[in-house]
A and B are shown apart, each in its own frame.
Chain A
C-alpha cells in the first residue's frame, strides 16, 4: 500500500468531455498525452495547470490507444487498426486515416515492444467470437494478420491478455473464461506476410482462477517464467493476487485482496501495481531466477529481493510442461543430497569472501536454512551452519532459531560455537545450554568434537565425576583446612606432596570442561540469569560448583591468579559464577549432604578472600596517601618562580 497517497500532479478535462484513452508519458519530451472524446488529443507538461489551455489537436479518426515506451516516440493506434507515429500525426492532424480491420471487428488489447531496437506493435481484435492478432513491424512497415484458434474449448471468451517477448517469438498469454491460461507463440518475423495465417494456442496453466468470476480478472507476465494473476482462485473465495512459475507449474506466492480489485494489474520495474479497494497498492516483487529448488520451496519464499543466494543454486533444466512433482519416497535421499549440495555451494560462496552485501547474504542464507530445518525435521545441514557461524557476522538476534534447533538436537558442538561467537545470547538460552552441558552423558560427549582451546592440560585429571574428595592447597594466602592465615606456612610444610597431586584432579571430563568454559565466557546480566539458574537440578549445580571450585584452586596456584591455556576463564568469571550459583540455589545446596564438604570449602575460600582484600585495602590507602603528598608537591598555584637548567 502506498501510504499518504498524494498525487504529484492532477489535471482534469472540462465538464462534458470524456477521457477515452489512458494518458501516457512521452519519455522523450517529458510531456503527457491524453485523448478525450475519441478524437481530441491533448499534450501538456508538469508546469501546465489548466488542461483546457494546453496544446490541442483534433484528429480525423477515433483513437483506440496511445502507446509509449522508453526510447522511442509514442504511437497512436486508431480504432480502425491504423497506426501513426505521434510526430507524423501532429504534422497533419487532419490527415486521412485508413481502415485496416474489417467491419464489426473490435480491438480488444494491444501492446508495444522494442525488439532489437525496433518497435513492434501487437493488437488483438475480436469479431463474432473469433480472435485475430495483428503484428506491425515498424522497421519494415509490414502488418501481419493471424487468426487465433481457440482449440477444443471453442465457447470460451478470452478475458485478459498479456505478452512477453524473446528473440524469435512473442509469447501471447490469454486468460480464458474457463479459468485457464493459454499460450500462443507468434513469430516476430513472419514467414509469409501476405497469407492469412492461423495460430494454435496451448494450455499453460489450468484452473488458475475460478471459471465464473467475471470481474477483476487480469494477468501480466513478469518475466519469461513468471506470471501474475489477479482473480479468485475458487468460486467463493476472495480475490487474490498470485504469482505462478509457468516453467515448473507451481504457485510462487499469493496474496489475498479482501477489498476487491478492478481487474487492472501492471508490472513496472519490479513493482506490481493494482487497485485494491479504493487505493493503489504497490507490491515490490522481483522474480527469482527460476530454479527447481525455488519451485519446490527449498528456498525461502519471499526472500529479500536482491540477495544473491538464489542464483547460486543450480538451475536444473526441465522440459516444458513438466508436472508438479517428485515422489515422496525420494524425499530422504533428496534431503541428504541437498544438504551436501548446499554445503558445497556455501563453501564456494565463502571462498569468494567479502562481497559488499556479504552480511545480508549470510543472514538470509541462515534464515533460509533454518526455515527449512523447522519445516523438515530430518533436514539439519550441520556443517554448513558451522561454517556460517564462523564467518563472525551472525548474532543471536539475527537467527534465534539456530540455537533453538541446536538445543533440540542437543548439538553441543554447535552450541559451544554459538556461545563463543554470538555477543547477544539471552540469559535463558545460556542457561538452557548450561543444562544440556551438565546433563549430557559422557558417552555422547565422547563422540562430539568440541573446541578444547579453553581447557588446560588434563593429563593428571581423574575422569570420575562422582569424586567427592577435594583437595587443599596453600597458595596466595588461602588454606581450606586452616581458618587462620597466619598458620599457612606451617600447613604448607606439613603435606606438600599430597596437595600438588590432588589439586590437579578435575571433577568433569575435559570435553565437558571446555563446554562449561564457554558458558563462563559468555556475557550475562545477573538479574536475568538468576531465575533460570533455579531450574537446574541440584546434582548438576553441585557438579558445576565443584568444577568452579577446582578452577579457583588452579587459579590460586600461580601468583598472577590466572589459568594456563589459550583462552581460559578468568578468576573474576569463576568467582562471579560461584556466587551466582549459590545465590540461586542456596537452600537446595545446603540441604544436600553430598554438598556439605564443598560448602565448607567455599566458606573458607570466602573467608580467606576477605582477609586478602582487607590487606589490599590497607595497602591501597597507604598508596593514596603517598599520591596525595606527591600531588601537593606538584601543585604550584597560579604563579611561581622556578629554576630550569637545560642540558
Chain B
C-alpha cells in the first residue's frame, strides 16, 4: 500500500493562549471564545464543534467580557475601555466605542437583547442601546465606589445586580438608582483582611441574587430586602482549559524541505534533517543531518499574525496582520539565507485571511477580509497584481479556505457558510460553484491531472467534485450512496489537510488531529461490519484473507495530536505533532484540592 519515510517533528513550540471568557448563543448554537491574547473564536456546536470564525488578537486588547445580542450580534469589552462589535460575515471588527469609564470588567446583554450594560473600573455602570448598526450610550447608573466586576440582569429586565469589591449592588434599570447594597463578608475561614472580590453574580427570576467571590463563598441574597439568605463556603479552583486551534499554523516548502511555523507575533523557519538509512515499518532511522532552525521573523506592532505561507519553492514567505501584509524574498547560498522584504505592497493587500502560493510559486493568491480574492504574479524579486475576483454582489462573506490546482488553472475558495467557488485563473472568471452543504468546509484540495476537488466537511463527510465536468465524481456518488463507516463519522476532530500522491492518482491523503488516512479509491469501501482501523500489521495471513478484508481506508494513528501532515515527495511525509504533555508542562500548576480528612 505504501511505505514512507516520515519526518516526525515535535519542535513546533506552540502553546495555545488561555481562554478568558466564553459566551454561548442559544439560538444559533454557537460558542464565542476569547483568549488571553485577544483572539476571539466562534465555534459552531452543531457542526461538530468546528471553529467556524476567528478574529485575530491584539496585544493591547484584553477581552474581559463577551456577549451575544439580539440578531446574533457579537460584542466584546475589555481592559482597553472599548466595546467592540464583530462583523461575523466579513470577519473584522465593525467598530469600537470608547465608554470613557476606564477598563471594562464586565458586560451583560439585557434579556430582550436590545440593551448592553458595562461595568467599568471607575465604578460606573453604563447602559447602551443597541441600534441596528451601532450602539448608543443611554445613561449612567449610580456610580459605585470601586470597579464593577460582574453584572447580571433580572430575567424581566427591570433590575440588575452588579458585583463589586466587598459588596453587591442592585440597580433599578428604569431609574438607574442603586436600591440595595449587600455587603459581602471579607472573612475567609475567620482570617484574611484582603478585599473580597465578587467575581460573579446571577439574578434569578424569583429575585434571588447568587454571588461567588474571592473568599470562596457562594451566597444567596434576597434582592427585595437586600438580605443574605444562605452562604456556602466552597473551595474554588480555577479551570484550565486547553483547546488547540484548528487554524493552519504550519506550511511547508516541498522543494527545499522547509517548515514555516506561525506564532502570535513571530514566524519560525525550520529545515528538516535527512537520513541515508532505510528500514522496515516502525524503525527509527539514524539521522545524517538534524533539523535546523533557520529563521526567526518577528513582526512589529501589537497585532497578531492572522495567516502565513511559504511558497513550494521556498523562496517566498507571506504573512498578514489586520492592517499590514508582508512579503519576503528568501535567497539561499549554500547554508546562508538572506531575507529581503518586498516593499510597497498595494493598498488592497492589507488584511489577508488566507494566503496561498501556486505549485510553481509564480502566483500568489490572497483572500482579503473584504471578500475579494487577489491574484498576484511573482517574478524575480518583484510582483504584479493580476486580478481581483470581487465577491458576488450583495455578499460580503469572507473566504477563509483556498486551494489551487497543480497546473495553476483552477482556484477554489470557500467561506464559512456558502458553497465553494471555483475560479478559472487563465480566463479570470468564476467557473462554477459547488452546491452549498449544511456543514462548513474544514479542508479542500484539487487533485493533480484530474482536477477533482476533494472537500471535507465538519460532519466528516468527504466529497469529490470534478471541476472540468462541474459535477460530483462517480466515486463520490458511490460513497454517498453507501455512506461512510460509522466510526469514521464518529471522529470528533475535523479533517484539517488534504493532499495527493503525485504517482498514485487513486490515493487521497488526509488527516485530522488523531489519525492519518490514505483513501485508496480503487479498493471497496468498508461497511459497518468491517474493521475500519487495524493497528496490527498483517503477519502471516494468507493473501486471500488480506484481499478480502482490504478496504479503501488505510489509517495510521501513530502520530497525535497531529497538527500538520503533508507529502514532501513520493516516499516522504512530514508530520508535525504537538504532544499534549509538552503543553501541559508549560501551564501553571493546578490548584491542589484536598478531599476528606485523609
List chain A positions with a Cβ less than 8 A from chain B. Answer: 2-4, 6, 8, 47, 525, 636-647
A62 to B518, CA, bound (A): 98
Question: Looking at A8, A639, A642, which has the most chain B CB atoms within 10 Å of its CB?
Answer: A642
- In contact, B554 and A642 (Cβ under 8 angstroms): no
Per a CB cutoff under 8 Å, which of B175, B275, B284, B556 touches A646? B556
B1-36 Cβ-contact flags toward A at 8 Å (1 or 0)? 111111111110000000000000000000000000
- In contact, A643 and B5 (Cβ under 8 angstroms): yes
- In contact, A643 and B281 (Cβ under 8 angstroms): yes
In the complex, chain B residues whose CB is within 8 Å of the CB of A8: 179
A464 to B283, CA, bound (A): 70
Chain A residue with the shortest CB-CB distance to B279 = A643
A642 to B8, CA, bound (A): 7
- In contact, A642 and B283 (Cβ under 8 angstroms): yes
- In contact, A647 and B554 (Cβ under 8 angstroms): yes
- In contact, A641 and B1 (Cβ under 8 angstroms): no
The minimal Cβ–Cβ distance linking A167 to chain B, given in whole angstroms, is: 33
- In contact, B225 and A4 (Cβ under 8 angstroms): yes
- In contact, B556 and A644 (Cβ under 8 angstroms): yes
Per a CB cutoff under 8 Å, which of A4, A637, A647 touches B538? A647
- In contact, B537 and A642 (Cβ under 8 angstroms): no
In the complex, chain B residues whose CB is within 8 Å of the CB of A644: 3-6, 281-282, 556, 558, 573
In the complex, chain B residues whose CB is within 8 Å of the CB of A640: 8, 284-285, 287
15 A-B residue pairings within 8 Å (CB atoms): A636-B284, A638-B11, A639-B7, A639-B273, A639-B287, A640-B285, A641-B5, A641-B274, A642-B6, A642-B8, A643-B4, A643-B282, A645-B537, A646-B4, A647-B534
List 11 additional A-B contacts (Cβ < 8 Å) besides A641-B5, A641-B8, A647-B1: A3-B227, A47-B175, A525-B597, A639-B8, A639-B10, A640-B287, A641-B285, A643-B282, A644-B4, A645-B281, A646-B4
Chain A residue with the shortest CB-CB distance to B555 = A646
Chain A residue with the shortest CB-CB distance to B8 = A640
The minimal Cβ–Cβ distance linking B275 to chain A, given in whole angstroms, is: 5
B220-257 Cβ-contact flags toward A at 8 Å (1 or 0)? 00000111000000000000000000000000000000
The minimal Cβ–Cβ distance linking A642 to chain B, given in whole angstroms, is: 5
- In contact, B283 and A643 (Cβ under 8 angstroms): yes
- In contact, A647 and B537 (Cβ under 8 angstroms): yes
List chain B positions with a Cβ less than 8 A from chain A. Answer: 1-11, 175, 179, 225-227, 273-275, 278-285, 287, 290-291, 518, 534, 537-538, 554-556, 558, 573, 597
In the complex, chain A residues whose CB is within 8 Å of the CB of B573: 644
Chain A residue with the shortest CB-CB distance to B10 = A638
In the complex, chain A residues whose CB is within 8 Å of the CB of B537: 645, 647
Chain A residue with the shortest CB-CB distance to B285 = A641
Also in contact, A4 and B226, with CB within 8 A (given A643-B6, A644-B573, A647-B534)? yes
Also in contact, A641 and B225, with CB within 8 A (given A646-B2, A646-B556)? no
- In contact, B9 and A639 (Cβ under 8 angstroms): yes
- In contact, A646 and B227 (Cβ under 8 angstroms): no
A644 to B518, CA, bound (A): 12
The minimal Cβ–Cβ distance linking B551 to chain A, given in whole angstroms, is: 11
Per a CB cutoff under 8 Å, which of A6, A525, A641 touches B226? A6
A90 to B281, CA, bound (A): 100
A315 to B360, CA, bound (A): 94
- In contact, A645 and B6 (Cβ under 8 angstroms): no
In the complex, chain A residues whose CB is within 8 Å of the CB of B226: 4, 6
In the complex, chain A residues whose CB is within 8 Å of the CB of B227: 3-4
In the complex, chain B residues whose CB is within 8 Å of the CB of A645: 1-4, 280-281, 537
A2 to B226, CA, bound (A): 10
In the complex, chain B residues whose CB is within 8 Å of the CB of A643: 3-6, 278-283, 285
Chain A residue with the shortest CB-CB distance to B520 = A646
A586 to B8, CA, bound (A): 64
In the complex, chain B residues whose CB is within 8 Å of the CB of A638: 9-11, 291
In the complex, chain A residues whose CB is within 8 Å of the CB of B283: 642-643
- In contact, A641 and B284 (Cβ under 8 angstroms): yes
A640 to B534, CA, bound (A): 24
Chain B residue with the shortest CB-CB distance to A525 = B597
The minimal Cβ–Cβ distance linking A395 to chain B, given in whole angstroms, is: 16
In the complex, chain A residues whose CB is within 8 Å of the CB of B280: 643, 645
The 8 closest A-B pairs by CB, nearest first: A645-B281, A646-B554, A638-B11, A645-B3, A643-B279, A639-B291, A641-B285, A638-B10
In the complex, chain A residues whose CB is within 8 Å of the CB of B556: 644, 646
The minimal Cβ–Cβ distance linking B148 to chain A, given in whole angstroms, is: 22
A644 to B516, CA, bound (A): 11
The minimal Cβ–Cβ distance linking B132 to chain A, given in whole angstroms, is: 31
In the complex, chain A residues whose CB is within 8 Å of the CB of B281: 643-645
A526 to B137, CA, bound (A): 64
A234 to B485, CA, bound (A): 87
Per a CB cutoff under 8 Å, which of A3, A4, A6, A646 touches B1? A646
The minimal Cβ–Cβ distance linking B404 to chain A, given in whole angstroms, is: 27
- In contact, B287 and A641 (Cβ under 8 angstroms): yes
In the complex, chain B residues whose CB is within 8 Å of the CB of A2: 225
The minimal Cβ–Cβ distance linking B257 to chain A, given in whole angstroms, is: 11
The minimal Cβ–Cβ distance linking B506 to chain A, given in whole angstroms, is: 14
A622 to B538, CA, bound (A): 32
Also in contact, A642 and B10, with CB within 8 A (given A4-B227, A647-B554)? no
- In contact, B282 and A641 (Cβ under 8 angstroms): no
The minimal Cβ–Cβ distance linking A529 to chain B, given in whole angstroms, is: 12
The minimal Cβ–Cβ distance linking B214 to chain A, given in whole angstroms, is: 24
A4 to B225, CA, bound (A): 8
Also in contact, A646 and B9, with CB within 8 A (given A6-B226, A639-B290)? no
In the complex, chain B residues whose CB is within 8 Å of the CB of A646: 1-4, 518, 554-556
In the complex, chain A residues whose CB is within 8 Å of the CB of B597: 525
A3 to B556, CA, bound (A): 69
In the complex, chain B residues whose CB is within 8 Å of the CB of A647: 1, 534, 537-538, 554
The minimal Cβ–Cβ distance linking A123 to chain B, given in whole angstroms, is: 33
The minimal Cβ–Cβ distance linking A51 to chain B, given in whole angstroms, is: 18
In the complex, chain B residues whose CB is within 8 Å of the CB of A639: 7-11, 273, 287, 290-291
The minimal Cβ–Cβ distance linking B220 to chain A, given in whole angstroms, is: 15
Also in contact, A642 and B1, with CB within 8 A (given A4-B225, A525-B597, A647-B537)? no
A639 to B270, CA, bound (A): 12
Chain A residue with the shortest CB-CB distance to B13 = A638
In the complex, chain A residues whose CB is within 8 Å of the CB of B555: 646
- In contact, B2 and A641 (Cβ under 8 angstroms): no
The minimal Cβ–Cβ distance linking B354 to chain A, given in whole angstroms, is: 28
The minimal Cβ–Cβ distance linking A396 to chain B, given in whole angstroms, is: 16
Chain B residue with the shortest CB-CB distance to A3 = B227
- In contact, B273 and A641 (Cβ under 8 angstroms): yes
A638 to B225, CA, bound (A): 63
A643 to B280, CA, bound (A): 6
In the complex, chain B residues whose CB is within 8 Å of the CB of A636: 8, 10, 284
In the complex, chain B residues whose CB is within 8 Å of the CB of A637: 10
A3 to B518, CA, bound (A): 73
A134 to B412, CA, bound (A): 91
The minimal Cβ–Cβ distance linking A357 to chain B, given in whole angstroms, is: 16
The minimal Cβ–Cβ distance linking B541 to chain A, given in whole angstroms, is: 10
The minimal Cβ–Cβ distance linking A362 to chain B, given in whole angstroms, is: 21
Chain B residue with the shortest CB-CB distance to A645 = B281
In the complex, chain B residues whose CB is within 8 Å of the CB of A4: 225-227
The minimal Cβ–Cβ distance linking A394 to chain B, given in whole angstroms, is: 21
